[in-house]
Amino acid sequence: MIVDVNVGGVLLPGLLVLAVVGLLATIVVLRLLTIAGGHRVFVHRPLVEIATFSLIYGLLAQTCPFTG
């Protein structure tokens, strides 16, 4: 089970922290994809964005060091 993260006395759910990290990683990956010109391959960009976030979030949740 993923435990809470203590940030300045405020307990944040571990999955919320992973979601924020996943969102930041998704932004970086999508920017790199745009710079490389790979966004032209996909027809529906919002679908690619949500799929990228889902993949990154799932990988972070599997390899999470916050196990109890």
Cβ of 14: how many Cβ atoms within 10 Å?
19
Q: What pLDDT band is residue 2 in, cutting at 50, 70 and 90?
A: low
Tens digits of per-residue pLDDT, 11-36? Answer: 988 889 899 999 999 999 999 999 99
pLDDT at 7 over 60: yes
- Residues 25 and 19: their CA atoms lie apart, in Å, by 10
φ, ψ (nearest 5 deg) of residue 2 = -85, 130
Q: What one-letter code names the amino acid at 9?
A: G
- According to DSSP, the residues that pair with 5 across neighbouring strands are 12
Answer positive or negative: Cα dihedral of 22, 52, 33, 43.
negative
Task: Record the pTM.
Answer: 0.83
